[in-house]
Amino acid sequence: EPEVTQTPSHQVTQMGQEVILRCVPISNHLYFYWYRQILGQKVEFLVSFYNNEISEKSEIFDDQFSVERPDGSNFTLKIRSTKLEDSAMYFCAVGAEVNQPQHFGDGTRLSIL
């Protein structure tokens, strides 16, 4: 059983529209992360989330981005007004302890038209 499930697997959206990417971890994880991978490039950190608040965010994670755990299970990434350069694979990752590996979902491929 995977540690985390991401939906949708592929999202196509018009530029300027809002998107919400979802991540459902199994229950014993405390630490949550979003990363992205632009086609052909390395995986980049976006944001980490612990105890219902952001722990750290990168400079990529600007005011257009937000995260939340609305119901204590789903962990979502929202992009308010998408840009062409937001096209990427977005990965959710989870961890049970700070000294343990992060486990990644299969990703959501976001395509902005």
Partner 1 sequence: AQSVTQLDSQVPVFEEAPVELRCNYSSSVSVYLFWYVQYPNQGLQLLLKYLSGSTLVKGINGFEAEFNKSQTSFHLRKPSVHISDTAEYFCAVKGNFGNEKLTFGTGTRLTIIP
Q: Can you give the binding site for partner 1, defined by CB under 8 A? A: 6, 31, 33, 35, 41-45, 48, 50, 55-56, 58, 91, 93, 98-107
Q: Shortest gap between Cβ of 16 and partner 1 (angstroms)? A: 28
Query: Closest CB to partner 1 among 79 and 91?
Result: 91
Going across the sheet that includes 19-25, the strands are 4-7, 19-25, 75-79, 65-68
C-alpha span between 37 and 29 (Å, rounded): 23
CB of 22 vs partner 1, minimal distance in Å: 15
CB of 67 to partner 1, least distance (A): 14
User: How close are the terminal C-alpha atoms of the chain, in Å?
Assistant: 34
Rounded CA separation 29/74 (Å): 12
